[in-house]
Amino acid sequence: MARVVGGLTTSHIPAIGNAVPREKELLNDPYWKEFFAAYPPARAWVQKVKPDVAVVIYNDHGLNFFLDKMPTFAIGAAPEYKHADEGWGIPTIPPFKGDPELSWHIIESLVDEEFDITTCQEMLVDHGFTVPMSLFWPGNTYGDIRTIPVQINTVQHPLPSPARCFKLGQAIGRAIESYPKDLKVVVLGTGGLSHQLDGERAGFINKKFDLMCLDKIVNEPEALTKLSIHELVREAGAQGAEFILWLAMRGVLHNKVTKIHSSYHIAISNTATGLLVLENAA
Amino acid sequence: MTVITHHDLPIPGTYMFDGKAAMKGYALNKMCYSFNEAKNREEFLKDEKAYCRKYGLTAAQTKAILDRNVLAMIHEGGCIYYLAKFAGIFHLTVQDVGAQQTGMTVEEFKKKLVAQGE
């Protein structure tokens, strides 16, 4: 049977996408040093567990989806996913392998559980997907990993609630663990932590709230599902609402997890960055 | 009767990009979405006003674009994710855009970010 070995979360700021190819030299750069120094333990865990599949829960920022058709939840079911020009100069990285058979198994299981998601046989993936993959598989060594993109709308309100995203994650977890093939699956949740790009409150960061979230998501994620989107925007900033992607990731994991690694850093670009590695209890 | 709690009150300096904004800003956002493609960025730069007309922007939206005024774009229904693609044409980072919206210099804006970690 397929099994979820654990989860990884990281911020996906575009500036990181520009910096990743220069990581070695930036380890001596005062601005980037602390950020990149946090990743080796996460990569070591990925190397140790050797996953076959990565389910990547992320948000599209206007590459694949526009306001003409804006799905709340969308799942890729393609043999391959390409990155493309996002307009502001992030380098385009090589395509990602898909696993359509597993995608359809998850889709069928989700609809059976009344999550009426959108399915995509063609899907471009943007920095919300690509930056985390290039951070956890440095040098873009993700060639052997099969991926399943799970896209959640954070562009246009109403956004799905933290509770709904957590439940979606739980349903994805049940779907994966009912798949008959012997596969090791990791789940990624990307984005966050607190940040705001727009309005007179641009530049807002909330360290106290972020640290509370980083702590509670490990053993008491249900407490965080009581937040409304409005509260999340108030406490974490307009784009800090991406924390729903972390909660969806946490939903995929078992109730009991072990924290392998975590890190928090202010700031890269306009964002408080967060990194978390959780292993499912056997 | 609907009970309004403090959680529902507007958040100062924050704009929820909701259905109302999405309808108001549709043309502006659609134009900015087109900037994913290099050929469209080039066409825009050749004649900005003509490109705005092609996408059916209102006078206020066109003015905000020509003035490079991000807050005005947001008031006209712009969504920051698409506006970022417009800003990218001029190599403006999110910190440049943040500084402009908060009336700070970019250096002051960067200091404000770092200070929140102390």
3-state secondary structure chain A: CCEEEEEEEECCCHHHHHHHHHHHHHCCCCCCHHHHHCCHHHHHHHHHHCCCEEEEEECCCCCCCCCCCCCCEEEECCCEEECCCCCCCCCCCCCEEECHHHHHHHHHHHHHCCCCCEEECCCECCHHHHHHHHHHCCCCCCCCCEEEEEEECCCCCCCCCHHHHHHHHHHHHHHHCCCCCCCEEEEEEECCCCCCCCCCCCCCCCHHHHHHHHHHHHHCHHHHCCCCHHHHHHHHCCCHHHHHHHHHHHHHCCCCEEEEEEEEEEEECCEEEEEEEEEECC
CATH topology of domain B16-90: Protocatechuate 4,5-dioxygenase; Chain A (1.10.700)
CB contact under 8 A, B93 and A15: yes
* B33, B91, B116 member nearest A62 (Cβ): B33
Say how far apart CA B10 and CA B23 lie, in whole Å.
20
Of A129, A156, A163, the closest CA to residue A59 belongs to A129
Tell me the chain B residues in contact with residue A228 when contact means C-beta distances shorter than 8 Å. 7
* Per-residue pLDDT at A221: 98
* Per-residue pLDDT at B1: 47
* A89, A157, A272 member nearest B88 (Cβ): A89
Q: Cβ neighbours of residue A94 under 8 Å, at least 6 residues apart?
A: A83, A140, A143
Q: What is the ipTM of this complex?
A: 0.96
Q: Are B87 and B96 in contact (CB under 8 A)?
A: yes
CB contact under 8 A, B36 and A270: no
* Per-residue pLDDT at B3: 54
pTM: predicted TM-score of the whole model, two decimal places: 0.97
| Residue A127 known to be catalytic | yes
Q: pLDDT per position in chain B (118 positions), as tens?
A: 455 555 578 999 999 999 999 999 999 999 999 999 999 999 999 999 999 999 999 999 999 999 999 999 999 999 999 999 999 999 999 999 999 999 999 999 999 999 999 8
Catalytic residue among A12, A61, A105, A127: A127
Strands A96-98 and A80-81: antiparallel
Q: Which residue on chain B is closest to A200 by alpha carbon?
A: B13
* Per-residue pLDDT at A281: 86
* B29, B87, B113 member nearest A203 (Cβ): B113
Smallest CA–CA separation between A118 and chain B, in Å? 20
| Residue A61 known to be catalytic | no
Those residues of chain A that have pLDDT short of 70 are: 282
- What are the structural domains, with CATH classification, of chain A? 3-199+211-268 (3.40.830.10)
